[in-house]
Structure 1
């Protein structure tokens, strides 16, 4: 079936998940205020009597109508202030409300990033259901920050919330600021600095990865067991929240409550949180905009089904639409770049280990010797970042050859492939490693090596070794110097065909700056360390400690 996906990019800015409270008292109901053209400003009381402001757009004719809400920290009048901002929904017969979250724009209160959005979302939805312009059926929608507010509202299980449509949103607030315990220096730290947040607050954010009661109220992954509605998740393979759309879908579709289980949809395209950098461009791949299939707006189709009982066939289709990436040099696109349909995710792959070998090879043959490779990691000379799942700087499948040859950057690659290798699902690295100090980092990348040598980054991840057993207070443990440990590194999910003539590669190092802060190797937090030390880090590739990347292999159903 022919498919086309709109590439109209929406300005879905994101945020840093700073644990610190950001206070902002705001005024409402100013007599001098004029609502945007076509909108009626309405005020919604919360359970604590704080009043939130929203712009309401109504269809022509007689109500009541089914209603859709989006809740934004990015100011309703800035993002939805232009004429016709609500037409897409009202022309389809929905009342549409865009609301400033607590402490933002014209809403009262104090802004605490995502802390209040569960109960505030609940109160807003239930208030809407009681208005004379609402028929009692409510949906919630949004991307990025608005996707998070949507997910948090759904975890509170409002009785009148019937469906949600979520674009690029995480399963945990953690992934906005940390990967494997390493702080996302450029995206979280740099973004916060541009918002005027102090270095003291940013340093406190970087320290806040260990689990605590602070996280419990707003952890979508912990609280999604309370979600009881159909949700459509739309995400990108290079997006900073890749894991959220995929894993929220997985849980709700297969383990969710009765109203959620079996009623989910997932679409994953080859895009990031903004335009991709590098020399690759995926044809017909969509983006962070309105998703259309065969010219039909899928969000409106979703809400037509669940809020209007229009049997448009959306629930008769395969639950998962995933873009299978392949060779995508801008001047030589492969016809293997295509959309595929699956009954679930992951699509029943065969997990295959590709083992690291001391000579730099990567193969399905397990090591039989007792060799290992060591390198010096100097925190004052970190490996630079080129691409990956970034927000505020270059992102996507950039060429890793720019890093050059370094003693602390290990490359492992297969022989030239004689047949295609199709990967679809979660990618995991089992790394056996040691360090000569109390703490260090290990970074892993999955790379598609083109015939001309272009090293396209597909996935990358990190682990701060003190968090190797978990982030619960009793799980955090410093390393024993020179004692090897097994590290499990989650690289998230992808769908890519490594084509004949290419190579599969794994790159291992201990820094990736400014994507991540740099571990001082002293056991201190990076912001506290006055004298970083050079670490001697060792990767094991032995018979009893075989480091390997685990790839989910599928076979082309066509």
Structure 2
């Protein structure tokens, strides 16, 4: 059946399948196949299609044995080692031209390990719960092998990046450096929830795909910070990281802000060995191929030679694991892609990579205030009373079109697809007479009310093209009961009907040139599904059966309630 004949929900399901395949490819593995336990650790496997490797077992501190494939360069060792730890099954990552050949050809031993409870490894699979200790034990195991010179680097994207981060936060003495692609700072705030709202399609679908469906209901109840989050998060142990780390992220990636936060902390506040030795590269890509009518040239794909990222990884490990002074540490610490108009039939020459000595880059936070008539302007609102009210029915949510998604269409899709709805507000500037460049954190401050105990507000930054195309840049939600945070139970407060309160929505970060002739827009609504779960507006506890009600929501934009979009303006 062609996609054109599918319903919208059907498209999401098919695209979710494509996205899942894309994610596994990104992480260095093909689609999982059936595994047979008990393969000999001394068996060497080789064929014309597959490079030789040995399966070996590392014993963890609790006695569990984790299986790893070991690929060695030609000639006499020992060698420095590049290690990946994967939940996507190690035996699907050994094709010619893949990760193993890339590293062995460069003179590194390459080790890819099934995480606990996956593939040939023993134990129970609990996503990212045991990976700090298991990562430490595996690094030290690899350092002691006859084929290892004791210098270990870790590499990985997405889930493999998370396992690398967690291992680094355990500070194993033999871990020298890491190269981490698209991995979060906080699973609590970036992976499972955003603004207290469940990332429904991505979180739930990923865990089900990993055979962890039974773990979803209890996880989704843990919206408020607890000891278990503290014990298993990366950012709560960042002060223990003592190594150089190269972070690679994408502006449309599901972990957009994670790589930035990890770099910023370690580069400026990290422990000895980490501070001053970090690198950050941000590109115009997502967690898989972008959807829509925009395609960014010269680096819009990590695998593109023009993106230079594969070369950067080899230079990184050459410098830190082999001691080759190739100049990489004399280059600017930050490399980022500033996006510009990128319609597939009309690419702007202003799409380009830029560099900076640190993050955030030099900028000026500028407020664009919501105005009567759905306008957006840098002048403060003068109206004494101005607002817009709409009814939000959870049975009729706004459909997701693009954004930082994993399991379905992603990227700068056209928000005109949303259509004209009472519960979807578009505030827009006049046509720009000059280019406006932004790089950094984007925030929305909204003064709002609702007639019930709880509801959601969603904000989207949009680049409006001269022909009307509404390219999504970044978006994020806030659940009003969590407007004061969710680090403690007492942070959670229901709304008082009709009382206006200011809420802050963190839209993460981006780098974009709004070109002359375009317009800047802020879209405001109360749902974006299936990207985020739909609020039933009743204030029911997380995990309880919903009791849906229609909410009457209001956004204010007058002198007393100056709602605004805050943009990090930089030199054009």
Pairwise TM-score range, normalised by the shorter structure? over 0.9
Query: Mean alpha-carbon deviation: is it higher for 516-525 or for 442-451?
Result: 516-525
Distance 2:41 2:179 in 1: 35
| 1:227-238 matches, cutoff 5 A | 227-238=241-252
> In structure 2, the residue corresponding to 1:11 is in which secondary structure?
helix
Q: Tell me which moved more, 478-487 or 96-105.
A: 478-487
Normalised TM-score (structure 2):
0.90
Distance (whole Å) between structure 2 residues aligned to residue 13 and residue 301 of structure 1: 20
1:513-552 pair list within 5 angstroms: 513-525=529-541, 528-552=544-568
Describe the shift of the 1:290–1:129 C-alpha distance in structure 2 as closer, same or farther (beyond 3 A): farther
Residues 1:387 and 2:398 aligned together: no
Quote the Cα distance in structure 2 between the aligned partners of 1:45 and 1:32.
15
Instruction: Provide structure 2 residue ranges, at least 5 long, that are not aligned to the other structure.
Output: 1-21, 29-33
Corresponding position: 1:377 with 2:392: yes
Q: Does 1:181 align with 2:200?
A: no
1:423 correspondence with 2:450 = no
Structure 2 equivalent of residue 494 of structure 1: 510
Contact 2:299–2:307 (Cα < 8 Å) also in 1? no
Q: 1:74 aligns with which of 64, 75, 88?
A: 88
Corresponding residue of 2:361: 347
Kept in 1: contact 2:41–2:57 (CA 8 A): no
Of 523-532 and 364-373, more deviation after overlay is shown by 523-532
2:181 corresponds in structure 1 to: 167
Quote the Cα distance in structure 1 between the aligned partners of 2:269 and 2:41. 50
The Cα of 1:288 is off from its aligned counterpart by 4.0
Are residues 482 and 529 of structure 1, via their aligned partners in 2, closer, same or farther at CA, if it must alter by over 3 Å?
farther
Between 91-100 and 182-191, the greater mean CA deviation after superposition? 182-191
**Aligned equivalents of 2:306 and 2:435: distance in 1?**
30
List per-residue Cα deviations over 1:451-471 (Å, max 9, x = no partner): 000000000000111111111
- Provide the C-alpha distance between the structure 2 equivalents of 1:75 and 1:123, rounded to a whole number of angstroms: 19
Aligned pair 1:478/2:494, yes or no?
yes
8 Å CA contact retained: 1:157, 1:227: yes
CA contact (8 A) 1:187 1:392 kept: yes
- Cα distance in structure 1, aligned partners of 2:429 and 2:308: 39
**Correspondence for 1:224:** 238
Contact kept, 8 Å, 2:42 with 2:55, in 1: the verdict is no
Q: Label 1:522 to 1:396 Cα distance change in 2 as closer, same or farther (>3 A).
A: same
**Structure 2 matches for 1:98-497, cutoff 5 A?**
98-174=112-188, 175-194=190-209, 198=213, 201-289=215-303, 297-369=311-383, 370-472=385-487, 473-497=489-513
What do the CA deviations read for 1:88-109 (whole angstroms, capped 9, x no partner)?
1111111111111111111111
Q: Is the deviation greater in 181-190 or in 547-556?
A: 181-190
CA distance in 1: counterparts of 2:345 and 2:307, whole angstroms: 26
TM-score, normalised to structure 1, is 0.92
Instruction: Report the CA distance shift for 1:448/1:248 in structure 2 as closer, same or farther (over 3 A).
Output: same
Secondary structure of 2:491's aligned partner? coil
Corresponding pairs, count: 540
Give the aligned partner of residue 15 of structure 2. Answer: none
3-state SS of the aligned residue for 1:542? coil
The CA deviation at 1:226 is: 1.1
In structure 2, what is the Cα distance between the partners aligned to 1:196 and 1:160? 32
Query: Cα distance 1:531–1:456, how it changes in 2: closer, same or farther (>3 A)?
Result: same
- Is structure 2 residue 78 aligned with structure 1 residue 64? yes
- Which deviates more, 513-522 or 538-547? 538-547
SS, match of residue 216 in structure 1: helix
Match of 2:12 in 1: none
Give 3-state SS (helix, strand or coil) of 2:313's partner.
Answer: helix
CA distance in 2 between counterparts of 1:479 and 1:298 reads 49
- Cα distance in 1 for partners of 2:483, 2:415 equals 26
Would the aligned equivalents of 2:88 and 2:114 in 1 still touch at CA under 8 Å?
Answer: yes
How far residue 27 of structure 1 moved from its aligned partner, in angstroms, is 3.9
SS in structure 1 at match of 2:522 = strand
d(CA) in 1 for partners of 2:301 and 2:318? 23
| C-alpha distance 9-118 of structure 1, shift in aligned 2 (>3 A) | closer
Label 1:324 to 1:436 Cα distance change in 2 as closer, same or farther (>3 A): same
Deviation of residue 195 (structure 1)?
A: 5.2
Change (3 A) 1:32 1:246: closer
RMSD: 2.3
Q: What is the Cα deviation at residue 206 of structure 1?
A: 2.5
Q: Deviations over 1:93-136 (max 9, x none)?
A: 11111111111111111111000000111011111112222111
C-alpha separation in 2, matches of 1:527 and 1:337:
44
- Corresponding position of 2:18: none
Does the 8 Å CA contact 1:292/1:298 hold for their aligned counterparts?
Answer: no
1:272–1:441 distance in 2 versus 1, CA, 3 Å: same
CA separation in 2, counterparts of 1:441 and 1:28?
Answer: 50
SS at match of 1:274: coil
Residue equivalent to 2:9: none
Secondary structure of 1:355's match? strand
Q: How far is the alpha carbon of 1:26 from its aligned partner?
A: 8.6
Does residue 94 of the first structure (1) align with residue 108 of the second (2)? yes
User: Distance in 1 between the 2:230 and 2:119 partners?
Assistant: 27
